[in-house]
Amino acid sequence: MVTTDEKGPLTAKKKSVIIRSCDGDEFLVSESAAVLSTSLKKILEEKEDRLIHLSDIDNKTLAMVIAYLSTHADDGLSDDLKRSFDQEFVSGKEFDVLKYLVLATDTLQVTCLCYTVAKKMADIMKNKLVEWVRREFDIQNDYTPEAEAEIRRLDAWAWDDRQLEDD
């Protein structure tokens, strides 16, 4: 049973919400952290319910996003500390993990994190081969060999230093 003062004005500053991932895990998050996501903020403005179910974000990705939101909602941390947290946040993460993160941050509209993750993905993509990018993005090459050759002929300048070149 929820005690009455939990929703009362006296404890307004410490309001929390529960966010549930698509695989059923629940996370208790302070409202000040949750509203850093534009999407969550809108949901909270529209409904009384303190439980938000996200049908397309898995628990691992959600845990990472919430760690980010909680850090950025912490008034006790300096901007410098938050910046270094951001840098470490994406460093060393697998491309696959970043894909889920960029999708989640796009859905949740966490602009700063979406920017950081997208930038990191672009950095990883540099100097990678075409087949690598196709594999990591799960892209089926639906060009005919003739069509592909035609593109290579037209924009030959785009591949002249072997960036995003074939194996």
Query: Which residues sit at the interface with another protein, rule CB under 8 A?
Result: 22, 56, 58, 60, 99-100, 102-103, 106, 114-115, 118-119, 121-123, 125-126, 130, 133-134, 137-143, 148, 151-152, 155-161, 163-164
CA angle 79, 17, 96 (to 5 degrees): 65
Beta bridge partners of 28: 18
* Residue 11: CB minimum distance to another protein, A: 35
* Residue 114: CB minimum distance to another protein, A: 7
- Alpha-carbon distance of 2 to 23, in angstroms, equals 25
DSSP 3-state of 29? strand
Which is nearer to another protein, 28 or 151 (by Cβ)? 151
As a dihedral over the C-alpha atoms of residue 155, residue 159, residue 161, residue 166, rounded to 10 degrees, the angle is -160
- Where does residue 97 rank: exposed (0-12), middle (13-18), buried (19+ CB within 10 A)? middle
* Residue 151: CB minimum distance to another protein, A: 6
* Residue 104: CB minimum distance to another protein, A: 10
Which is nearer to another protein, 74 or 165 (by Cβ)? 165
Which is nearer to another protein, 63 or 73 (by Cβ)? 63
CA angle 62, 70, 21 (to 5 degrees): 20
Which is nearer to another protein, 85 or 159 (by Cβ)? 159
